[in-house]
């Protein structure tokens, strides 16, 4: 029964007719639709946010906004990463915070306790994340749907408990004082007026590269294999597609990219804690992908931005009104329910271009 319902979900998502909305949208919002133009616009925007206040005596862009921007970009990288698994091969994973945490912890341990610097720690963390993702990818060969959700969830949680119970990893307190990366001998925090510019540019660069890579994959033959697996795995096997290979590739890519996001986050916040591995984090990333729109690059980035900025706004509302509870979480639940009722494919889901 499950399998059939699942197919229906996918079919409706795909058969969604391409409405003339894209032209209208471009007209109304002035959003460029070509990837190149999009990249340039985003780059100009980021540069403006970063450096406009270096030329004036007063701060035009508060540091707080720059801080949010870094968070948004790091989450964008995570949603793009999860998109490989949840979007392209259609396997819901609730354990991706584990890879995020692996990246963060490896970078922290290497830069803090060994002479290895930040730039070299990234590929090492990527390799370790890829290794750890192998068992999860193998599991996905055997188990599907809700059961894979359960397994990935359990995987993440078990890893979190291991970290919490290992004193050398800082246990539940985490590890503070992660050294900042150096750029030709200058600390990242010393570049730009508020010290966050270098992180913004680095994160933006990685997100842009990842988005470009995904864009190429979406146009390649690999994507046909991914779609075949997503739509009907048995048929894909029958057609001679090496589903094992493609699933493994999707999981590994996803893990590797998540670990890069983790490395960035660790060095940016100069602090790692087991909270980074928590299931709340995994669920957040998954909802970002779903709200933004699975299998859509723009959707994934949009989802990350929306779901990072909204809680901050509501935090302000909470502080202004002095509410004893967090209104965002209640609204978050409502958003998910209404989304699934009205637009289950996400804001920018399939059909609006990739």
Partner 1 sequence: MELLQQVINGLAQGGIYSLIAIGWTTVFGIVGVMNWTHGEVYMLGAYVGYFLCMAGMPLLPALIIAMAVGAVLAMLIDHLGYRPLRKKRKMLTAGFITALGLSTFLRYSATAAFTPDPRAYPGILDYKMLSLFSMGGSTLAISSIHMTILAATIVIMVILQLFISKTVTGKAMLAAAQDMQTLELMGAESEKLIKVTFAISGALGAAAGVFVGIIYSVNPMMGALAGLKGWSVAILGGIGSITGSLVGGLILGIAESLTAGFISTGYKDAIGFTIMIAVLLIKPTGLMGFRFEEKV
CA distance 86 to 301: 15
The least distance separating partner 1 from the CB of residue 304, rounded to whole angstroms, comes to 16
- Which DSSP string corresponds to 27-60? HHH----SHHHHHHHHHHHHHHHHHGGGSSSS-S
Rg of the chain in Å (alpha carbons): 20
Q: Is 16 in the site for partner 1 (CB under 8 A)?
A: no
The least distance separating partner 1 from the CB of residue 154, rounded to whole angstroms, comes to 4
Count of positions on this chain that bind partner 1 (CB under 8 A) = 47
Out of 142, 184, 240, 322, the residue judged to bind partner 1 by CB under 8 A: 142
Q: Is 18 in the site for partner 1 (CB under 8 A)?
A: no
Q: Is 336 in the site for partner 1 (CB under 8 A)?
A: yes
Closest-CA residue to 133 (of 104, 161, 102): 102
Q: Is 150 in the site for partner 1 (CB under 8 A)?
A: yes
Q: Is 315 in the site for partner 1 (CB under 8 A)?
A: no
Beta bridge partners of 186: 183
Alpha-carbon dihedral of residues 230, 235, 241, 246, nearest 10 degrees?
20
Out of 45, 64, 119, 161, the residue judged to bind partner 1 by CB under 8 A: 161
DSSP 187: E
| Segment lying near partner 1 (by CB under 8 A), choices 120-128, 178-186, 312-320, 325-333 | 325-333
Out of 162, 209, 235, 316, the residue judged to bind partner 1 by CB under 8 A: 162
Q: Is 141 in the site for partner 1 (CB under 8 A)?
A: no
Out of 113, 147, 224, 245, the residue judged to bind partner 1 by CB under 8 A: 147
182: three-class secondary structure by DSSP: strand
169: three-class secondary structure by DSSP: helix
CA distance 253 to 259: 10
In sequence order, what E strands does 182-326 have? 182-183, 186-187, 271-272
Closer Cβ to partner 1, 74 or 159, answer by number: 159
* Own/partner long-range contacts of 200-204 (Cβ < 8 Å, ≥24 apart): 200/46, 200/49, 200/50, 200/66, 200/69, 200/70, 200/73, 201/46, 201/50, 202/264, 203/70, 203/73, 203/74, 203/77, 203/264, 203/268, 204/42, 204/43, 204/46, 204/73
Out of 71, 79, 92, 108, the residue judged to bind partner 1 by CB under 8 A: 92
Closer Cβ to partner 1, 47 or 139, answer by number: 139
DSSP 186: E
| Segment lying near partner 1 (by CB under 8 A), choices 25-33, 242-250, 251-259, 322-330 | 322-330
The least distance separating partner 1 from the CB of residue 151, rounded to whole angstroms, comes to 6
Q: Is 330 in the site for partner 1 (CB under 8 A)?
A: yes
Residues that bind partner 1 (CB under 8 A): 1-3, 5-6, 8-9, 12, 92, 139, 142-147, 149-151, 153-155, 157-158, 161-162, 164-165, 283, 287, 290, 324-327, 329-330, 332-337, 339-341, 344
């Amino acid at each position: 029964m499950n399998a059939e319902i699942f197919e229906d979900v996918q079919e409706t998502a795909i058969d969604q007719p391409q409405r003339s909305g894209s032209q209208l949208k471009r007209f109304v919002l002035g959003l460029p639709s070509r990837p190149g133009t999009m990249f340039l616009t985003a780059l100009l925007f980021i540069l403006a946010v970063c450096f406009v206040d270096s030329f004036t005596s007063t701060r035009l862009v508060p540091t707080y906004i720059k801080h949010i921007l870094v968070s948004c970009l790091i989450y964008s990288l995570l949603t793009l990463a999860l998109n490989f698994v949840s979007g392209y091969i259609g396997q819901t994973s609730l354990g991706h915070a584990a890879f995020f945490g692996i990246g963060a912890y490896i970078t922290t341990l290497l830069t803090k306790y060994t002479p290895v610097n930040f730039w070299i720690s990234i590929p090492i963390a990527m390799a370790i994340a890829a290794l750890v993702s192998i068992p999860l990818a193998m599991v996905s060969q055997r188990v599907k749907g809700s059961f894979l959700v359960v397994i990935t969830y359990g995987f993440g949680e078990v890893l979190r408990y291991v970290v919490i119970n290992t004193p050398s990893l800082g246990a539940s307190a985490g590890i503070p004082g992660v050294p900042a990366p150096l750029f030709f001998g200058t600390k990242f925090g010393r570049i730009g007026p508020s010290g966050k510019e270098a992180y913004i540019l680095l994160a933006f660069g990685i997100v842009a590269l990842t988005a470009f890579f995904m864009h190429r994959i979406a146009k390649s033959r690999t994507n046909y294999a991914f779609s075949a697996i997503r739509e009907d795995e048995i048929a894909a096997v029958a057609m001679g597609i090496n589903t094992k290979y493609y699933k493994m590739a999707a999981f590994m890519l996803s893990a590797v990219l998540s670990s890069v996001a983790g490395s960035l986050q660790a060095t940016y916040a100069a602090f790692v804690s087991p909270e980074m591995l928590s299931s709340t984090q995994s669920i957040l990333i998954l909802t970002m992908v779903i709200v933004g729109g699975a299998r859509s690059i723009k959707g994934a980035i949009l989802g990350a931005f929306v779901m990072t900025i909204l809680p901050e706004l509501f935090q302000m509302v909470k502080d202004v009104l002095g509410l004893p509870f967090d209104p965002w979480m209640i609204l978050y639940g409502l958003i998910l329910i209404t989304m699934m009722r009205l637009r289950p494919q996400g804001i920018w889901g399939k059909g609006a271009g990739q």
